[in-house]
Amino acid sequence: MDIEQIKNIKLNFILATARTGSTLLSAMLNAHPNIVSTFEEPFAYNLYPKYKNITKWTSATIQEFCFDFYLFSEGRLEVQFGTKKDLETLLEKNKEYLTVDSAIKIAYLCFFPNKEKKEITTVVDKQLMFHLYLEKIAKNYPDSKFIILHRDPRDQCLTRFKMLKRKNIHQGYYRIAGAWNFVYGKLLRLKTKIGSDRFLEVKYEDLVSNPEIELKKICSFLDITYNNVMLKYDEQINEEVKKTKLDAEILKEFSLFHGGLREKVNTEKIGAWKKDLKTEEANLIWTICGSLAEKIGYTKHENFIKQKIKPTEYLVNFTVYRIRIVTYLYHAFPYFVRYLVKKIKYGKNFKNWVLISKDFYDKNYYNK
């Protein structure tokens, strides 16, 4: 792929909260020969400020870019990324023409190394934290489009609760429902602020019930031709797992949390809350999320009774708001501060301004 093709690649984003089917949607899109669809690696946001004003890229710049790419990784590269050498080689090949935009697109092309990239015209990136800095993403990539993926809050809360339990993390339904309400409330406000023409809303329930209809709608929105190979995403996932030869521990974790991707799409999880949630749990979730959920198109269940919020739940609220405030402050800091925080967090030799140990990059498969 030449540099002009790379420059013309369109960059788009999936917006959602956890356990809404966003990884399923990403897998479906990634099966398309014209799309690379990654999940939960926020480099497009984190690297843009540092490299946006660089007009002449050198080999040293490229090495630093590769270094920073791994620094900001969220640790999911083993499943979907190639190697540092792949990234470095592609950047060096196009060094004379590099800008931050093309460098970031080249980084996307290094994902799924077994996938043929000659026909790639579109990238669709998924990151569950995008709602925190969506305005910056929209500004940095003014031609980008956004897919908001919804799911009935009762099913989402149930699935999220079970997933956290498998990780031995206890979060009550009050907190999980509050997160759903916060994220989608913010996304819908940002949709109005940024411009609704750049957004498409999709429901998980529609995606698994009528995948072809919904995928055609998404392809039309992204200005690409629909390809029914997207319905065979499970075959590609299984083939990818075989080719990649994942470490046993990584494969175990993948199977535990995303094992469903290796099966055909089905509707089994729609309405699971009716069987698995207690009445008071369903009522609590709808008390918190119901107003927004109805605007999105979900329906209140029969015999719903508004729940009173227990005093102890306000303590949970305090903890949640404290976390949100810290997170917002972090993203409000100038880039060099966030960069320094990241280096301190992951560096083992923070003295005399030697901020990063090579061990961190070895663990992230930096030198493969």
Q: How far apart are CA 69 and CA 111, in angstroms?
A: 13
- The answer to whether residue 321 scores a pLDDT higher than 90 is no
- The answer to whether residue 353 scores a pLDDT higher than 50 is no
22-30 vs 233-244: helix axis angle to the nearest 10? 80
Distances (CA, A) of 290 to 100, 154, 275, 297, 311: 42, 10, 19, 10, 21
181-240 pLDDT per residue, tens: 999 999 999 999 999 999 999 999 999 999 999 999 999 999 999 999 999 988 877 776
How many Å separate Cα 305 from the centre of its chain? 35
Predicted pLDDT at 140:
95
Predicted pLDDT at 262:
64
Q: Which of 182-191, 245-254, 329-338, 356-365 has the lowest mean pLDDT?
A: 356-365
pLDDT interval class at 259 (50, 70, 90) = low
pLDDT interval class at 336 (50, 70, 90) = confident
Q: Say if CB 176 and CB 160 are below 8 A apart.
A: yes
Q: What are the E-state strand segments in the chain?
A: 10-15, 35-39, 122-126, 146-150, 199-203
pTM, entire model: 0.89
Q: How far apart are CA 337 and CA 202, in angstroms?
A: 36
Q: How far apart are CA 336 and CA 192, in angstroms?
A: 31
| 73: Cα within 13 Å, side-chain hemisphere | 27
DSSP reduced 3-state for 12: strand
